[in-house]
Amino acid sequence: MAQVLVRQLDEKIVDRLKKRAQEHGRSLESEVRTILEEAVPDYEGAWKRIEQFHKRLKKSGRTFSDSTELIREDRDR
């Protein structure tokens, strides 16, 4: 696991983080970790889940239109 050190953080920010952590029943460290995890989503994992969902729909016989063609048709109107 990596560590991150944030220097020169305003005391007001730290106080707000502590209050937020307390509201969520977490430690300051856990709250900051949660904030960072939410701020930097796992796009690669999300795309994998989307592709799996798409494959499941295809197996069930679902067809998909080419959105590129639909956009071009819409622009030509």
Q: What is the largest CA-CA distance in the chain?
A: 58
Helix (H, G, I), strand (E, B) or coil at 10: coil
5 in a domain, yes or no? no
- Residue 35 CA to residue 16 CA, distance in Å, equals 13
Work out how many domains the chain is built from and give that number. Answer: 1
19 in a domain, yes or no? yes
For the full predicted model, state whether its pTM sits above 0.75: no
Q: What is the full per-residue pLDDT of the chain (77 aa) written as tens digits?
A: 899 999 999 999 999 999 999 999 999 999 999 999 999 988 999 999 999 998 898 888 887 777 888 899 889 88
What tokens were used for 21?
Answer: 């952590």
Sequence letter at residue 9: L
Range(s) of the domain holding residue 40: 11-76
29 in a domain, yes or no? yes
What tokens were used for 68?
Answer: 């590129």
2 in a domain, yes or no? no
- State the pLDDT at residue 67: 87
